[in-house]
Amino acid sequence: MTPARYHREVAALRVRGDGRRARYCRAVETITMPSSVGIRFAHAALQVLAEEYGIDLLHIKGPAVDNSLLQASEVADSPVARRSIDADVLVRPEHVDRLFAAMRQHGWSMKYRFEDGSAFEHAATMVHPVLAPVDVHRRFPGLGIDEDAAFDRLWAERHTIDIAGVPCPVPSVTAQRLMLIVHAARGGALDHPDIRRSWTAASEAERHAVQALAADLGSEVALAAGTGRLHEYVGAPGYELWLALSTGEISLVRIWAARVRAAPSRRAALRTAVRLLVPNARRMETALGRRPTARELSRAYLARTRWGVREIRKTLRARRARVGAGR
């Protein structure tokens, strides 16, 4: 059974309420499958929903990466498998709520909201009884222009590839290079194979195309962070943030401070700053296997406050040491 047919039949069974077929449906949903298969089926299922409900989305990372970027830079003909734990899609911002509604009607539920993730609040996680989890991106960290304009730019140059037998729209190869580099840089993985394949092993023409796209998307600083050229952007907006993210050698407080300064508005900056101290109740619930109690939340808040104070003191001591060494 193809992912498209599976998803349609499961949805139809739920709607009709057919007792015998509903039991079959429940039995199907108890089946487990290898994560790599579940991820591909998740991509395919989401594409079926996108077409059915008029949703624009791009499949990114994982099985959506172009074959030309899966070749090892050291051995041109040796493919390298990319390990993923979930499927990733970038959705037209105005279609996000429509996608969530469609997914809920077909057995998906929300595990983490946008605000439960990183300080970028860029992705929400949806889970399904059978398929792999999906990270639904409303924006991609590192793309500095307005999220609607960024999606339009990527959407305009999309092409399709087959994932689990379903044609799925993906960004251009140039855009994939940029996104893989920026994603690795955000995680401080400057030696990541994605950077070697997307940049180090790229031709001059391919690099030029990536740089031109980064300029269009406001991603020059993020790209520089992933390609060893961040020193060229000292003092530029976002420099401290990408220095902190890409090196991994700076305290967490400084990373958060850089994110606050890089926030697009005062309101966003305040929200980011507050999240430094507020415990994440949803992630606590996942770790505990139940909702945290008021006492547990209070303890977590106190622990986060103490951690913040320690980190601030550590940062100030390091700053004083640098100033003293420079005298």
Does 316 fall in a domain? no
Which two tokens mark 176? 């994939």
Does 266 fall in a domain? no
Which pLDDT score is estimated for 10? 45
Which pLDDT score is estimated for 294? 77
Which two tokens mark 296? 């547990």
Does 129 fall in a domain? yes
Does 280 fall in a domain? no
Which two tokens mark 274? 């507050």
Q: How far is CA 111 from CA 11, 127, 133, 325, in A?
A: 21, 6, 9, 48
**DSSP tag of 83:** P
Which pLDDT score is estimated for 24? 38
Does 208 fall in a domain? no
Which pLDDT score is estimated for 85? 79
Kindly report the pTM of this predicted structure.
Answer: 0.72
Q: Residue 99 contacts by C-beta under 8 Å, 6 or more apart in sequence?
A: 46, 49, 50, 53, 55, 57, 91, 136
Q: How many structural domains does the chain have? A: 1
Q: How far is CA 139 from CA 94, 105, 147, 152, 240, in A?
A: 11, 24, 6, 12, 21
Which pLDDT score is estimated for 28? 45
Does 103 fall in a domain? yes
Does 214 fall in a domain? no
Per the structure, the complete domain to which residue 46 belongs is given by: 32-171
Give the whole-angstrom CA distance, residue 5 versus residue 129: 17
Does 14 fall in a domain? no
Q: Which CATH number is 135's domain given?
A: 3.30.460.40
Give the whole-angstrom CA distance, residue 8 versus residue 3: 9
The ranges of the chain with pLDDT < 50 are 1-4, 6-7, 9-29, 72-80
Which pLDDT score is estimated for 76? 42
3-state secondary structure of 181: helix
Q: How far is CA 231 from CA 41, 133, 307, in A?
A: 42, 38, 31
